[in-house]
Amino acid sequence: MNSRSLFIIVLASSMIGAMLSAAIVLTYVQNNQSYNYSSISNRQDQLVSNVSYSDTAFAIPQGLNFVSAANKVTQSVVHIRSVYSGGASSFNALEGFFRGPAQSSGSGVILTDDGFIVTNNHVIDDASEIEVVLQDNRSYFGKLVGKDPTTDLALIKIEETNLPYLSYGNSDNIKTGEWVLAVGNPFDLNSTVTAGIVSAKARNIGILRDRNNLQIESFIQTDAAVNPGNSGGALVNLKGELVGINTAIATPNGSYAGYSFAVPVTLVKKVMDDLLEYGEVQRGLLGIRIGDVTARLAEARGLDVVNGVFVSYVNENSSAEEAGIEQGDVIVGINEMEVTNVSELQELVARNRPGDEVKVTYIRGGERKSVKAILRNTSGTTDLISKTYNPELGGAVFEELNNDEMASLQLNGGVKATEVNDGKWKESGLKEGFIITKIDKVDIVDLADLHLVLENKKGGILVEGITPTGDPGVLGVDW
């Protein structure tokens, strides 16, 4: 072996030895590392600081910020607990659950700073007592102002001021695919916010019933998660404006299955104003029988359109007859707004009162025409009808306090017993001249309050007021 070969062998051996030594040292160091951070959190901070991200990678697109709307809306959505006096359990088709004789739960939306609240009729229907709980857990007795089963809406009132209220938006302006938030109290989980998009508008799902066939179903359909307890809660746009009242879900099992439905706020506004002013909804009607135009109907009738509302019959002495609308016409517009189906037509007409004039656009014989129709009520007149209440109730006759009486007694209202005949009131010890100011802690301002509060009461009730001698008085009445 020459000296050159020996040198190469020695060099190679040295290199192999060095590599083995390095491996041994590295293994030792890895197993006995001296860490240069004190916690996992610190280590993560170090790691993150070495990674560069673009700020725009996690930025929220303009207008798609749920946080602002959620913070605003949750303060204005309330939890409603409805208590029932006796009776058997019943299945609530709108909520999809069994309602027992004790209580059920729903939601509501504060509309004014002094306590007017919108909810669904089915949330408070038949309730003997309504409890309203705010987001900050303050609790109040709710007073029913009025209800409308044909739209499944109700207006209630609590006695409070400076409340956070939700402003009306415009449901006409929302588009299919637009983001919306649903806020309510599903399964008693207060102030729950879910997000989704508008899936469709003017949906009729056949859930409301009315003996005169005057129900209005023109729901906003969304895929925001809604469950039992959400009914009466808010559907809002990303500005935090109210665009609908969550009302129903499409479900085979009683829980959310992908789609929910809300009454559009344009209809809510009109119903709330009617209930506040008149105690009942003022329905303006064209007086026609109608159906959706389909491809099959268009072919059978020789129509030139496949969208719109087909007039199958015109009632005598109706608004439509007076305006010249005829059987076979296809209505395609109301007040310059396009109409493609019955739900849209019903909603647009229902926004008006008897006596209001609407522009009806229709197609007859391939020609597009427009007429102005003055809507009429169910009695065929243009009169607005306020709900009246019988002064006799339970064997006693009552009258509302006049301004002088309220001023002298420093009351905001009340009803005075002017006659007490045989019946529940007399058995309880009610005397002529007694002024009722509260029943079960709910203020009684007028005859309407007296009837509405007592409508679903059963069993014992607590009556507070002023005795004929001017002293505070309390009665227990077996109602």
Q: Distance between CA atoms of 452 and 470, rounded to whole angstroms?
A: 26
Q: Are 413 and 406 in contact (CB under 8 A)?
A: yes
- For the record, the structure tokens of 327 come out as 């059987």
Range in 49-53, 370-374, 449-453, 454-458 the model is least confident about: 49-53
Q: Which residue has the higher pLDDT, 43 or 135?
A: 135
Boundary (domain end) residue, out of 328, 343, 374: 374
Q: pLDDT per residue over 65-101, tens digit each?
A: 899 999 999 999 999 999 987 544 444 444 444 444 5
Residue 193 and residue 104 share a domain: yes
Q: Give me the domain span that covers residue 458.
A: 392-478
Q: Distance between CA atoms of 208 and 284, rounded to whole angstroms?
A: 19
Residue 368 and residue 400 share a domain: no
Residue 296 and residue 237 share a domain: no
Is 39 inside a domain boundary? no
Catalytic residues: 122, 152, 231
Q: Are 420 and 470 in contact (CB under 8 A)?
A: no
Query: Is a pLDDT exceeding 70 seen at residue 137?
Result: yes
Residue 225 and residue 110 share a domain: yes
Residue 51: pLDDT band with limits 50, 70, 90: low
Query: Is a pLDDT exceeding 90 seen at residue 255?
Result: no
Provide mean pLDDT across the span 138-150. 95
Residue 208 and residue 73 share a domain: yes
Residue 142 and residue 221 share a domain: yes
Provide mean pLDDT across the span 24-46. 54
Residue 243: pLDDT band with limits 50, 70, 90: very high
The H or E element spanning position 10 is helix 3-31
Is 37 inside a domain boundary? no
Provide mean pLDDT across the span 395-411. 93
- For the record, the structure tokens of 197 come out as 């998009």
Residue 119 and residue 231 share a domain: yes
Q: Distance between CA atoms of 58 and 374, rounded to whole angstroms?
A: 55
- For the record, the structure tokens of 47 come out as 């790691």
Q: What is the CATH number of the domain that holds 200?
A: 2.40.10.120
- The pLDDT of residue 1 is 52
Q: What angle do CA 242, 278, 205 make, to 5 degrees?
A: 50
Q: pLDDT per residue over 163-181, tens digit each?
A: 999 999 999 999 999 999 9
253 CB contacts (<8 Å, ≥6 apart)? Answer: 96
Residue 32: pLDDT band with limits 50, 70, 90: very low
Question: Which one, of 145, 449, 127, 171, lies nearest residue 274 by Cα?
Answer: 145
- For the record, the structure tokens of 423 come out as 């019946």
Residue 318 and residue 186 share a domain: no
Q: What is the CATH number of the domain that holds 347?
A: 2.30.42.10
- The pLDDT of residue 254 is 73
- The pLDDT of residue 56 is 45
Q: How many domains does the chain have?
A: 3
**Within a 10 A sphere around the Cβ of 170, how many other Cβ atoms?**
14
Residue 321 and residue 200 share a domain: no
Q: pLDDT per residue over 111-131, tens digit each?
A: 999 999 999 999 999 999 999
Q: Which residue has the higher pLDDT, 32 or 289?
A: 289
Is 94 inside a domain boundary? yes
Q: Specify the length of the chain in residues.
A: 479
Residue 404 and residue 311 share a domain: no
Q: Which residue has the higher pLDDT, 109 or 21?
A: 109
By the 10 Å C-beta count (0-12 exposed, 13-18 middle, 19+ buried), 440 is classed as middle
- The pLDDT of residue 187 is 87
Q: pLDDT per residue over 287-327, tens digit each?
A: 999 999 999 999 999 998 999 999 999 999 999 999 999 99
Q: Distance between CA atoms of 189 and 138, rounded to whole angstroms?
A: 16
Is 408 inside a domain boundary? yes
Residue 347 and residue 217 share a domain: no
Query: Is a pLDDT exceeding 90 seen at residue 225?
Result: yes
Boundary (domain end) residue, out of 214, 244, 276: 276
Average pLDDT, rounded, for the chain = 87
By the 10 Å C-beta count (0-12 exposed, 13-18 middle, 19+ buried), 399 is classed as middle
Q: Which residue has the higher pLDDT, 135 or 6?
A: 135
Query: Is a pLDDT exceeding 70 seen at residue 34?
Result: no
Residue 63: pLDDT band with limits 50, 70, 90: low
Is 344 inside a domain boundary? yes
- Residue 7: strand, helix, or coil: helix
Residue 48: pLDDT band with limits 50, 70, 90: low
Query: Is a pLDDT exceeding 80 seen at residue 38?
Result: no
Residue 96 and residue 217 share a domain: yes
- The pLDDT of residue 64 is 76
Letter string b/e over residues 120-148, b meaning 16 or more CB atoms within 10 A of that residue's CB: bbbbbbebbbbbbbbbeeeebbbbbbbbb
Token pair 């303006």 in the structure block, residue: 284
